Amino acid sequence: MSASKILNDLLTGADNKTHDIARWSWMISLFAVLFGAGYEMVVNNMPALKDFAEAVGIIAGAHGAAVMFKKDTEPKEQIDVENITNQP
């Protein structure tokens, strides 16, 4: 399994084609916290582990809830827009 397949599965909805803003927001927030912890480690030689754990917990809880609340609105299959005919 390639890294691009894993990222695609993490960042798309139930149809694995439509990108999901809640999942992208989760990924960007997690990278921001990891970057902040890395910066803190370089500057102070020790990150504040309690603050890091709180931040990761808040991100996991908030974005997990966001994905759960919108799970019913995700597209289940990809619609072929080019082959749709306008019938009255």
How high is the pLDDT of residue 44? 86
The pLDDT tens digits for 1-12 are 788 888 888 888
Tokens standing for residue 27 = 């990924």
- Quick check: is 61 in a domain? yes
- Quick check: is 59 in a domain? yes
**Which domain covers residue 28, as residue numbers?**
21-71
Q: How many domains does the chain have?
A: 1
Whole-model pTM?
0.69
How high is the pLDDT of residue 71? 74
How high is the pLDDT of residue 83? 59
- Quick check: is 46 in a domain? yes
How many whole angstroms separate alpha carbon 59 and alpha carbon 45? 24
- Quick check: is 62 in a domain? yes
How many whole angstroms separate alpha carbon 64 and alpha carbon 13? 13
- Quick check: is 26 in a domain? yes
Residues 75-87, mean pLDDT to the nearest whole number: 60
The pLDDT tens digits for 25-80 are 889 999 999 998 889 889 988 878 888 899 999 999 988 888 888 777 777 665 55
